[in-house]
Amino acid sequence: MTNIIKNPVNPYYSEIYNTLNPITTGPVTLRHYHRKNRQGTCNSLTYLSSSTRISNRSQSHSSPPLRSRFSALCFSSNPVADMDGGAGPCLFPLHRCKTLHLVRHAQGIHNVEGDKNYKAYLSPEYFDAHLTPLGWQQVDNLRKHVHASGLSKRVDLVITSPLTRTIQTAVGVFGGEGYTDRMDVLPLMVANAGNSSRAAISSLNCPPIIAVELCREHLGVHPCDKRRNVGEYQFLFPAIDFSLIESDEDILWKAAIRETTEEVAARGLKFMNWLWTRPEKEIAIVTHSGFLFHTLSSFGNDCHPLVKKEICKHFANCELRSMVIVDRSMTGSDSSTTNYPGKIPAGLDRPSDVVDENKLEKEGPDS
């Protein structure tokens, strides 16, 4: 039987957080995150769904912010409602926001057996599990929704975890139409990749797809979460960009060491930090249930309980959930593409309220 090391914070995976993403200032554990909240520091990352109003009531100027690169600070016109868990509307500059479309992969062969017997997740038979025929039906249905909603035309970039089931989901949902050998471009997926019994998928008329290690599932112990060599993936999925993966072999997954939930959440924060370094404004992310749940559960504590639940509840296979992240720290350098400076041509434009304020300052309130 495999021995699983259950130490609170695995030094091995802690070291991974220091090396996977040199852009961030340092690793942040979930324990550290919650300790900051108890001390009164604001959540430095808040999700806003399209129908959600969120209030941040815990801003502190005495404590340093969490090491996340972006956040949402909401202003409420009703402090009493805030105390009761309600919230007023929030306002942010559009160019300080990114839209994320979070997707859990479709049903994999490990999901079927693991639902019957949890020990199946320990079986080498499900190494880098691929999608089931039912999973591919789920992919087809999500693809129809993505096209019918217009989302396929809005997404600037697709990010996928570098495992077969997530890559298959990403190319099946966001990829181009059927591929033929006469085309002078590489396919996103070759025919029958990962025992799919599916035709090749074209890379034409679709957003670029890149593979990123940081959004992988729980690392360690479960063979279904161990990836293949990058070279194998490049043969099966030729048009996907694997350049951000530094090692051909999977050096992150260890047979006897399982990431703690805190470490998964810390890795999730690092991934979110990295997202803000990307120039794209609307990004689809195809990843895993555990990664999504433990990352998103870190947030929403300042929201209405139903909003908190909406943010972090477990994803179903092939579920898509759209959210917004906001850069409050001025980390992003992108300028607005829609703002207009006005006063062209220039002319006198002093507002009446400014005139009134200046007059009041000069004459005093009792004059």
What residues are paired with 202 via a beta bridge? 187
Q: Which strand (E) or helix (H) includes residue 160?
A: strand 157-160
**Which residue is catalytic, options 113, 213, 217, 263?**
217
Instruction: Provide the H-helix boundaries in 73-206.
Output: 79-83, 109-116, 133-148, 151-154, 164-174
Q: Is 319 a catalytic residue?
A: no
And the tokens for 352?
């009446």
Residue type, 296: L
Q: Provide the 8-state DSSP code for 365.
A: T
Backbone angles phi, psi at 96, to 5 degrees: -95, 10
Which of 93, 141, 129, 154 lies closest to 335 in space, CA to CA?
93
Which of 18, 50, 227 lies closest to 151 in space, CA to CA?
50
Q: What length is written for the chain?
A: 367
**Which residue is catalytic, options 105, 110, 288, 294?**
105
Q: Is 105 a catalytic residue?
A: yes
Q: What angle do CA 257, 162, 300 make, to 5 degrees?
A: 75
152, 241, 276, 283, 285 from 158: Cα distances, Å:
10, 10, 14, 6, 6
57, 72, 334 from 168: Cα distances, Å:
42, 33, 32
Hey, which residues are catalytic here? Answer: 105, 217
